[in-house]
Amino acid sequence: MSDETQPAKVLTCSDGVIHGTREDKSGEALADFLAANGFEVVERRVTADGTENVATALTEMSDGFAGLIVSTGGTGFAPRDQTPEGTRAVIEREAPGLAEAMRLCNPLGRLSRGVAGVRGDAIIVNTPGSTKGCVEQLEAVVDVLPHALRLLWDADNSH
């Protein structure tokens, strides 16, 4: 991990949180994990499930932003789990290696349909809505994210 703090945003995709029937525990867990790993969480947001809701939130969050955006929720098989579709609608380039590594963190990771990619100067990664699962999946790639961001910003030309 770099000594330099990098900006991050957390997006919770959950009808339950929007309607007040669930607490945003996974968003909080991600924010805490990011802060403990050298990122400064500059925004936390909640959106309802669904392709359009996720795409709108990610577009707004990434416009003019240089940093990491981590979503939680909506990566499974339920009908309203459409976070990957919303993410694909806004990213310019996929980063399949990140998503693959995140799925390998435990056997249940294979059930995640989450994607990762780039929009502008932001890297966007999807994690599951489970408090444990979202942190485990982010933990699988957090060591390479600072370097990936520097490459994206063309700040590290050492290779």
Domain coordinates of the chain in residue numbers?
6-152
Q: In whole angstroms, give the CA distance from residue 102 to residue 92.
A: 20
Instruction: Give the Å distances, CA to CA, from 116 to 16, 20, 93.
Output: 24, 28, 9
* Mean pLDDT computed over 141-153: 97
Lowest pLDDT segment from 4-8, 73-77, 135-139: 4-8
How sure is the predictor about 157, in pLDDT bands with cuts at 50, 70 and 90?
low
User: How confident is the model over 48-75, as a mean pLDDT?
Assistant: 98
What is the end-to-end Cα distance of the chain in Å, rounded? 18
Distance CA 62, CA 106 (A): 29
Count Cβ atoms below 10 Å from residue 99 Cβ, excluding itself: 23
Give domain 6-152's CATH superfamily.
MoaB/Mog-like domain (3.40.980.10)
pLDDT at site 2: 45
**Across 33-55, average pLDDT:** 98
Q: Would you say residue 51 has pLDDT above 90?
A: yes
104 Cα distance to chain centroid: 16
* Confidence grade of residue 59 (pLDDT, cut at 50, 70, 90): very high
CA nearest neighbour of 140 among 108, 111, 110, 99: 99
Tell whether the model's pLDDT for residue 137 goes beyond 80. Answer: yes
Instruction: Kindly write down the DSSP assignment for every residue of the chain, as one continuous string.
Output: --SS-EEEEEEEE-HHHHTTSS--HHHHHHHHHHHHTTEEEEEEEEE-SSHHHHHHHHHHHHTT-EEEEEEES--SSSTT--HHHHHHHH-SEE-HHHHHHHHTTSGGGGG----EEEETEEEEEEE-SSHHHHHHHHHTTTTTHHHHHHHHTT-----
∠133-138-143 over CA atoms, to 5°?
Answer: 150
Mean pLDDT of the chain: 95
Is 80 exceeded by the pLDDT of residue 25? yes
pLDDT reported for residue 1: 41
